[in-house]
Amino acid sequence: MTNQVDNRKVAVVGCGFVGSSSAFALMQSGLFSEIALVDVNREKAEGEALDISHGVPFVGQVKVYAADYDDIMDAAIVVVTAGTAQKPGETRLDLVNKNIRIFQSILPEFKKRNYKGILLVVSNPVDILTLAALKLSGLPEQRVIGSGTVLDTARLKTALGEHLDVDSRSVHSFIIGEHGDSEMVAWSSTNVSGIPLNDFCEMRGHFAHDEAMDRIADEVRNSAYEIIAKKHATYYGIAMSVVRICKAIVMNERSILPVSTMMHGEYGIEGICLSMPVIVGEEGVSVHVPLVLNEEERESLLASAKALKDVAQSAGL
């Protein structure tokens, strides 16, 4: 990590449901000694900072405060959650133009101040906004990361863990592509502690593989819609995903996570951001880890990439 940023400091831009839940989870993580909150609505940032800071005596020392852009340029990571949230029935891609305009007011602040840390984009549609952040911030590609399908992959592991009655951490699988409707499960490489998925299913008495996997993939793909229909926003799962990614960065874990990053011909995809497993550490993202895909999966991934490319082009990115 460059010595121009403080590895114990994180900032969150946008303190709505997702930003405040992320700050709350980050406060409890013990990873940081400073958490700075920025919002266009300064009072909202101040209120959230006060509320979250009252939990500090139960955890361990960390300063949580409302801030401006000048205060956060030494943060190792800036988590960007500013934006309009998805309304019931609205797709993530519907949000694109509204949230690009919001990003046009935020990201140049980092460019102006020559920010040296890592931007973690969470606002939706996350793949398009990661691309927008890359262009608007002027930061190198390895330091602009979208939370991508880290959350979707956690949802998948939860569902598979329940289906198989096994610890979800023993399930190894990735959701790849868009964080959204065209995302897909890399089923052919899915395993449970090294045991191929279908073998493990049979060990647990499940034999209708295709039916079960289709149902689980649909459930995962639609879970944000279901939560939004029931409680208007999703925030706890994404908050934990933010902590997971921040931990990989500041602890230089070199973890393999399906975050959204710029593609340069990997799997035949070029010039857009989407999620594939990559190594995440203190420099941001590095090597794409080659995932073995069968022909059908490869085609679905290319279709997901095309859907994103069409949106990026129509948004002028």
Catalytic residues, by residue number, are: 179
Nearest to 257 by CA among 287, 235, 227: 287
Place of tokens 């089923």: 187
Between residues 201 and 245, which has the closer beta carbon with respect to ligand NAD? 245
- Residue 17: half-sphere exposure toward Cβ, Cα within 13 Å: 13
Element (H, E) at 37: strand 34-38
Report the site for ligand NAD in 171-190 (rule: CB under 6 A).
179
Query: 3-state DSSP: the chain helix, strand, coil percent, rounded to 5?
Result: 50, 20, 30
Total count of residues recorded for the chain = 317
Q: Which segment (9-17, 49-57, 63-71, 181-189) binds ligand NAD by CB under 6 A?
A: 9-17
Alpha helices, H only, 113-235: 126-137, 150-164, 197-203, 209-231
For residue 224, the one-letter residue type is: A
Q: Which segment (24-32, 39-47, 251-259, 300-308) binds ligand NAD by CB under 6 A?
A: 39-47
Q: Which of 153, 234, 261, 304 binds ligand NAD (CB under 6 A)?
A: 234
Q: Which segment (83-91, 161-169, 190-198, 263-271) binds ligand NAD by CB under 6 A?
A: 83-91
Contact flag: residue 22 with ligand NAD (CB under 6 A): no
Q: Which of 35, 66, 69, 86 binds ligand NAD (CB under 6 A)?
A: 86
Q: Which of 7, 29, 81, 137 binds ligand NAD (CB under 6 A)?
A: 81
Report the site for ligand NAD in 49-68 (rule: CB under 6 A).
none
Alpha helices, H only, 113-149: 126-137
DSSP state, residue 297: H
Which chain residues interact with ligand NAD by CB under 6 A?
13-19, 39-41, 44, 81-83, 85-86, 95, 99, 102, 105-106, 122-124, 126, 147, 151, 179, 233-234, 238
